[in-house]
Amino acid sequence: MKSGNFSKHTDQTGSVKTTCCYCGVGCGIVVNKNDDGHLTVEGDKDHPVNKGMLCSKGTNLHYTVMDQSDRLLFPEMRYSRHQPRQRVSWEIAMQRTAAVFKTLIDKYGPDAVAFYASGQCLTEEYYVVNKLVKGFIGTNNIDTNSRLCMSSAVVAYKMSLGEDSVPVSYDDLEIADTIFVAGANPAWCHPILWRRIEAARERNPNLKIIVSDPRKTQTCSIANIHLQLNPGTDITLHHAIGRCLVEDGDIDIDFIRQHTEGFEKYRHTIFERTVAEAALICGVEERDIRNAAGCIGSSKGFITMWTMGLNQSVIGVNKNLSLINLNLITGQIGKPGAGPFSLTGQPNAMGGREVGGLANLLPAHRDLANELHRNEVEKFWQIPLGTIQPKPGLTATEMFDALNDGRLKAIWIMCTNPLTSLPDARLAEQALRKAKFVVV
């Protein structure tokens, strides 16, 4: 939720509709403001995501907003590195930022500056800053904290489907027959989405829920099958399920022939190990693997759903691919109630990707490395051909490496705190201390 002059955006009832800024569900909320400035929050009953529901965090969002003890309410600026920050006007802050960035760009080149965005930026904000960086400044040094959690899913979607685009909607979850939750605890981390799944189970007691997680989480409380696998054995488990589906004939041969490639190689891979051997490696019962495959094979609508348990891994892409393959071999994609569904951790991690807010992307799922795509965007932005550089910019972690070794001189950080979210917080702090100019 954005701060500012609330009255400019309210109707006569003193309320404004916006989006909850916490998890990746993206619930619609209505913020009410009374005469003394007190805020209350309620769910937006007309919003397609939450339909009026809110979790405990969303319900108490207004308390966070009204607590101004640790919020920056106006621009502050240091006139030199060792001086304390002082309050300044917006005009002075923007003028100095522009002047310093221009000086550094003129002296060291456009690749001396970078912009670090967040999955909590609005889509419009992402688009504007991406256009500023790639289309005006002339560098591709813009990336986002979404890379820390979503890059595995991005690559897997592009490798398997040809595009980083989720082929499932929330409504599909309510009409699926089987939902396979892998490496995720949506009961806690995506609570309103999970409430919708719980409601779907009440309407359809035959809805099968399979959870794959080393931990026994609240999500497991309504699961038909909990595959409590050993950490790091996800691919082995997915391949074992795939083998069961092939052995039982629960695959869509026509779909495989018409819409996929590489099935024989996949078949060879999943048959390298027996289901019993896979069960031993994963630390689960063989019958549970076969039962899970049976639920999937008999489904009219099958959805796979995952998040950081698969993504944040050195083999995260392969984990994603092994799960997506279960949808492909069964033909459970491109129809209602079916498909591979990567859940995001922030409300606009997907929106940032759609408008090209990564070091290797352009808006509308265009690839930076593709000259035709670059020219298409340049024409749309009405800038000279060749303005957008073909070389990918620095990624999230690379930016702080570059600040640390002096290649990068300045960074603008938006809606994120890298000192708490980056893997190496000490390096991030050291890098920021070495930077010539930092904007937050």
Q: Where is the domain boundary, 277, 312, 342? A: 342
CATH at residue 24: 3.30.200.210
Is 1 a domain residue?
no
Answer yes or no: do 17 and 96 share one domain.
no
Is 181 a domain residue?
yes
Q: Which domain covers residue 112, as residue numbers?
A: 76-146+349-439
Task: Assign 202 a pLDDT band (cuts: 50, 70, 90).
Answer: very high
Quickly list DSSP for 356-393: T-STTEETTTEETT-HHHHHHHHHHHT--TT-S-SS--
The model's pLDDT over 315-338, given as tens digits with 9 standing for 90+, comes to 999 999 999 999 999 999 999 999
Separation between Cα atoms, residue 304 and residue 342, nearest integer Å = 8
Answer yes or no: do 327 and 431 share one domain.
no
Is 318 a domain residue?
yes
Q: Where is the domain boundary, 66, 84, 105? A: 66
Answer yes or no: do 183 and 316 share one domain.
yes
Answer yes or no: do 434 and 414 share one domain.
yes
Is 136 a domain residue?
yes
Answer yes or no: do 183 and 318 share one domain.
yes
Task: Check residue 37 and give its pLDDT.
Answer: 81
CATH at residue 395: 3.40.50.740
Instruction: Determine the average pLDDT of the residues in 364-389.
Output: 97
Instruction: Determine the average pLDDT of the residues in 267-279.
Output: 98
Beta bridge partners of residue 314, listed in sequence order: none
Is 71 a domain residue?
no
Task: Assign 65 a pLDDT band (cuts: 50, 70, 90).
Answer: confident
Q: Please state the domain count of the chain.
A: 3
Judged against a pLDDT cut of 60, whether residue 395 lies above it is answered with: yes
Q: What is the pTM of this model?
A: 0.91
Question: What contacts 127, CB < 8 A, 6 or more positions away?
Answer: 355, 356, 357, 363
Is 36 a domain residue?
yes
Q: Are 40 and 62 in contact (CB under 8 A)?
A: yes
Task: Assign 13 a pLDDT band (cuts: 50, 70, 90).
Answer: low
Answer yes or no: do 57 and 184 share one domain.
no
Q: Is 180 helix (H, G, I), strand (E, B) or coil?
A: strand
Burial of residue 63, with CB atoms counted within 10 A of its CB: 0-12 exposed, 13-18 middle, 19 or more buried: exposed
Answer yes or no: do 266 and 409 share one domain.
no
Q: Where is the domain boundary, 296, 324, 342? A: 342
Answer yes or no: do 357 and 406 share one domain.
yes
Answer yes or no: do 336 and 257 share one domain.
yes
Could you tell me the two tokens for 166?
């989720």
Answer yes or no: do 179 and 314 share one domain.
yes
Answer yes or no: do 133 and 275 share one domain.
no
List the beta strands (DSSP E) in 46-138.
76-77, 86-87, 113-117
CATH at residue 259: 3.40.228.10
Answer yes or no: do 113 and 201 share one domain.
no
Give the amino acid at 122.
L
The model's pLDDT over 292-313, given as tens digits with 9 standing for 90+, comes to 999 999 999 999 999 999 999 9
Task: Assign 2 a pLDDT band (cuts: 50, 70, 90).
Answer: very low
